[in-house]
Structure 1
Amino acid sequence: MPRAGLTPERLTQAGAELADEIGFDQVTVSALARQFGVQVASLYSHVRNSQDLKTRIALLALAEMADRAADAVAGRAGKDALTAFADVYRDYAREHPGRYAAAQLPLDPQTAAASAGVRHAQMTRAILRGYDLSEPDQTHAVRLLGSVFHGYVSLEASGGFSHSAPDSSESWARVLDSLDTLLRNWEAQP
């Protein structure tokens, strides 16, 4: 019988909070059971195993970021939309490092297709329509933006920019300016 008060949603939320505290790689059903003061077996009626828990956290993180990004880009276009979208990722990674790591978890195709990852891709493509890119250039640009955003955020989170001037926020602004310039001047390949 399920333990009173424990639900898959509550466990997912607690797992996400735990990921932010101890790191996504350290989140397990056992660690979550310790947090709730229950036996591991008590959680198995709500989550199948640690991989299921991690997948649920990844889906939560993707949904949270998609909601934030949708709010941030609403009514914006061009560089304003690009900057707002990029800032969502950077800010989310800073506020929720474990959840951000969870959002990078590879998902099986069926789970990925039903996830908020689809909304991320749609928003990215909507932003790129403001730069008048057609296929396959739009796909190349989606990959470029994802690589730059994730790469910068990951390096910043690991302390890669903390020991040198100028401040990483200044560099971030310059990176976004450069991406905007690149996208406005993108040359289509024949």
Structure 2
Amino acid sequence: MHPALVEEFKSVDAVIASDARTAGVDAFALSLLKVERQARRFVTYLVFQYPCFGRSDVPALRKTLSDSKKVYFEGILRGFDALYPQPLEALIGAEYAHLKARVDEAELHRNKLFHGQLTEESLSRAQLLEFVVDMRRWCELLCDAGQQELGYAGFGSSSFTKSPELTMSASFRIQMQGLADYDAFIKTVLRRPQGQQAQ
């Protein structure tokens, strides 16, 4: 297992080990946050590979994304596939369909929990921890594939890092020449379409 993944999930392991009354829900929510963070970091890593962006652009790149409303997990995944020649499904491999379904289900439960609604079925601590196992597995597979394919694991170092493969972006499906292109990419690819609700 990649050291960056082990480090990233230390907080989840600590919550589970605490045996607190809310440990199941807390570990579940924290794990989903890490799934979403890793995906977002992969997209910002890919964007930073364009020759037009350098260290001086990092604050503007961060602000452009953070100022954008209605950018959610499904848009980030869409963004990766819109940029990189190989889709996430190919990187994750044979477990993709099962794990993607589990992550989607976890998002539905998390949204209901955050809005004070009951989940469709009352999830036990054991069921919540099963979600944690699957979300960790998603991150593990993506971590290993990302390290091998992109030279970046999604955890650990900053996503605003140049790959040693300086011409990587030449093979990307979309080309960018500056911040205006990045802003357009966010609005047309990452952002949830007007009127569309989360599943």
User: Which interval holds the TM-score relative to the shorter structure?
Assistant: under 0.3
In proportion to residue count, which structure has more helix?
1
Higher relative contact order (CA 8 A, sep 6+): 2
Larger radius of gyration: 1
Structure 2 length-normalised TM: 0.26
